[in-house]
C-alpha cells in the first residue's frame, strides 16, 4: 500500500454550530479549543491563514509531543485542511482534512488524515485524533454546563 493510501478517520457530533467549532480548531485561545493547556498542551502557536504555520507541543497523555504543519484551505465555517508532521509521520508532511456539517443544533465533524506511513501509524493517529476531537467536544459540553450553573 502506498503512503497516500494509509488513512486515519474520526467522526463525532459536537454540541456547537460549525462556525464555533471552526473557531475553536484554529484558535488555541478559544475556550473550547483542543489545543489548550487544560488538555495538556504545553504550547500552541497557530497562524490561521492559508499558508500559515502552526506548532503544537503536547504533553501527556500524548506519546509524541511535537507536531507542526501549515494551513492549505480554510473555508469558514465548513472546511479546514492542513499538513501534519511529527515523529509519528516519520517527519513526512501528511494531510488532515476536517469537514464541519450542520447536524440539528450541532455539528458533525469528520476528520480524514491521509499519507500516513503504515497501518500502525494510522491506528495510533486515529486514537490520537479521537482524543483531540473528544477534547474539542468536551470543551463545548463543559462550557454549556458552566453556563447553566
Whether residue 60 has pLDDT greater than 90: no
CA distance 67 to 17: 27
Query: Has residue 89 been placed in a domain?
Result: yes
Tell me the pLDDT of the chain averaged across its residues.
Answer: 92
pTM (2 decimals)?
0.91
CATH code (residue 14): 3.30.530.20
Q: What is the pLDDT of residues 20-56, one digit of tens each?
A: 999 999 999 999 999 999 999 999 999 999 999 999 9
Tally of structural domains, the chain? 1
Query: Has residue 149 been placed in a domain?
Result: no
Structure confidence at residue 2 as a pLDDT band (50, 70, 90): very low
Q: Which residues contact 9 (CB under 8 A, 6 or more apart)?
A: 110, 111, 112, 113, 126
Query: Has residue 57 been placed in a domain?
Result: yes
Amino acid at each position: 500500500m502506498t503512503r497516500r493510501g494509509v488513512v486515519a478517520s474520526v467522526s463525532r457530533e459536537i454540541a456547537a454550530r460549525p462556525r464555533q467549532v471552526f473557531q475553536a480548531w484554529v484558535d488555541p485561545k478559544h475556550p473550547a479549543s483542543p489545543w489548550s493547556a487544560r488538555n495538556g498542551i504545553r504550547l500552541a502557536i497557530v497562524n490561521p491563514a492559508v499558508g500559515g504555520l502552526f506548532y503544537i507541543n503536547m504533553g501527556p497523555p500524548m506519546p509524541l509531543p511535537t507536531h507542526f504543519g501549515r494551513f492549505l484551505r480554510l473555508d469558514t465555517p465548513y472546511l479546514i485542511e492542513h499538513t501534519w508532521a511529527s515523529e509519528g509521520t516519520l517527519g513526512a508532511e501528511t494531510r488532515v482534512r476536517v469537514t464541519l456539517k450542520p447536524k440539528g443544533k450541532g455539528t458533525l465533524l469528520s476528520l480524514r488524515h491521509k499519507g500516513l506511513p503504515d497501518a500502525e501509524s494510522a491506528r495510533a493517529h486515529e486514537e490520537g485524533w479521537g482524543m483531540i476531537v473528544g477534547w474539542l467536544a468536551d470543551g463545548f459540553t463543559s462550557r454549556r454546563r458552566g453556563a447553566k450553573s
